[in-house]
Amino acid sequence: MDQIHGLDELSRRVLDKGLCASCGSCVGRCPYVTEFKGRTVVLHRCTVEHGRCFAYCPMTFFDPEAASRMVFGTRAEASGIGRYEDVKASRATDETVAEAAQGGGTVTSLLIAALNSGMIDSAVLTSSIPGEARGRGFVGTTVAEIASCSGSKFAGSHSLSVLREALDQGRSRIGVVALPCQVRSLRKMALYDLKQEKLRERVPLVIGLFCNWAFSPRQFAEFLGKELGLGHIGKIDIPPPPAQVLEVETQGRTVSVPLDLVRPMIQDACRVCPDMTAEFADVSVGMYEGRPGWNTLVVRTAAGAGVVGEALAAAGLETDVFPSENLEHLKEASEQKRTRAAQ
């Protein structure tokens, strides 16, 4: 308990320093914290000494050894892409899923398989806010709802705030799609579980996304709207290097925005974030550089292997070999992020 403080300390250490990652964890846990137009805002002072807001925030503290023992049953692997069992290339076999997806539709396929097999009864996702560049949390309970959340929203979404909604609905097998910072928050919830909500059992599947950075939701929305005059934002894509652009679908056309123009809008939290591949997830999914329409799939735990097995058995997913030179490149990139964060 020594390291767990309250809302004042969360403000001092995270919010006042501009280090909020917009994960949404504190928003769903405390009535005095809310999200307003993409910002995390404290509405009122709170005197609780050991609050869930502080305990579950990924930016206050994180104990990789404790998380590793809980998730993998062994010591943390503080290099490369963390602990894993297998790495594959993968993609959805369903054309509709693949078409709507950001990469190969692996995440959506895994979720559908998990729901259909009964492994999960609901999923905490990030849905689009119509016309806007940022997303928001959404609890999906049907295949159609899961499919409607396909695609990446490249700004922080506070999506973990709706975990509260799923818990209040009495959901007992909640799957979560999470950025690496959100995975850390979920693992802290399971480790400390201050209100005995049985979070370890009730969140049996965490699908992590690779992530190098995310935009500050408010700044990014204002930049696209006010500075570039873009409205009705659709899909956003970041083609692999050397493109160095953001491709934004808007009103029937695609606009290329140089990455240099938008880099200043990256959240400060991302500059000190060490985790690129969601090292504490059950399964992690990223793009497959050089093979459009495919994903990189990292299987880390028995639950991760289980959901991949379900998706393969249901013929919703196909996998292929992930070449060793690509794996080495991925480990290097992941290591670079860890090193940058430590500087």
Ligand X SMILES: Cc1cc2nc3c(=O)[nH]c(=O)nc-3n(C[C@H](O)[C@H](O)[C@H](O)COP(=O)(O)OP(=O)(O)OC[C@H]3O[C@@H](n4cnc5c(N)ncnc54)[C@H](O)[C@@H]3O)c2cc1C
Give the 3-state secondary structure of 222-247.
Answer: HHHHHHCCCCCEEEEECCCCCCCEEE
> Which tokens belong to 117?
């097999």
131 near 231, Cβ under 8 Å? yes
Determine the Cα–Cα distance for residues 133 and 152; give it in Å rounded to an integer. Answer: 10
Select the residue whose beta carbon is closest to ligand X and give its number: 286
175 binds, among ligand X, ligand SF4, none (CB under 5 to 8 A by kind): none
Determine the Cα–Cα distance for residues 311 and 304; give it in Å rounded to an integer. Answer: 11
Nearest distance from C-beta of residue 46 to ligand SF4, angstroms: 13
Q: Which is nearer to ligand X, 205 or 285 (CB)?
A: 285
What's 12's DSSP letter?
I
Q: 73 to each of 23, 64, 139, 194, how far by Cα in Å?
A: 26, 12, 29, 22
82 binds, among ligand X, ligand SF4, none (CB under 5 to 8 A by kind): none
60 near 13, Cβ under 8 Å? yes
**In whole angstroms, how large is the CA radius of gyration of the chain?**
19
> Which tokens belong to 42?
């404290």
247: which strand partners? 237, 256
Determine the Cα–Cα distance for residues 107 and 96; give it in Å rounded to an integer. Answer: 14
Nearest distance from C-beta of residue 173 to ligand X, angstroms: 17
86: which strand partners? 299
| x/- track of binding to ligand SF4 for residues 180-199 (CB under 6 A) | xx------------------
Nearest distance from C-beta of residue 96 to ligand SF4, angstroms: 28
| Pair type for strands 33-36 and 86-92 | unpaired
Q: Which is nearer to ligand SF4, 57 or 92 (CB)?
A: 57
Q: How far is C-alpha 65 from the geometric centre of its chain's CA atoms?
A: 21
**Hey, is 216 helix, strand or coil?**
coil
55, 285, 298, 311: residue in contact with ligand X (rule CB under 6 A): 285
Please tell me whether residue 23 binds ligand SF4 under the rule CB under 6 A.
yes
Please tell me whether residue 273 binds ligand SF4 under the rule CB under 6 A.
yes
4, 21, 42, 287: residue in contact with ligand SF4 (rule CB under 6 A): 21
Nearest distance from C-beta of residue 221 to ligand SF4, angstroms: 16
| x/- track of binding to ligand X for residues 188-227 (CB under 6 A) | ---------------------xxxx-x-------------
7, 20, 248, 287: residue in contact with ligand SF4 (rule CB under 6 A): 20
Q: Which is nearer to ligand SF4, 40 or 296 (CB)?
A: 40
153 near 126, Cβ under 8 Å? yes
28, 58, 105, 140: residue in contact with ligand SF4 (rule CB under 6 A): 58
Residues that bind ligand X (CB under 6 A): 101-108, 125-126, 135, 149-154, 157, 159, 177, 179, 209-212, 214, 285-287, 295
Enumerate binding residues for ligand SF4 (CB under 6 A): 10, 14-15, 20-27, 40, 57-59, 156, 179-181, 211, 213-214, 267, 269-270, 273
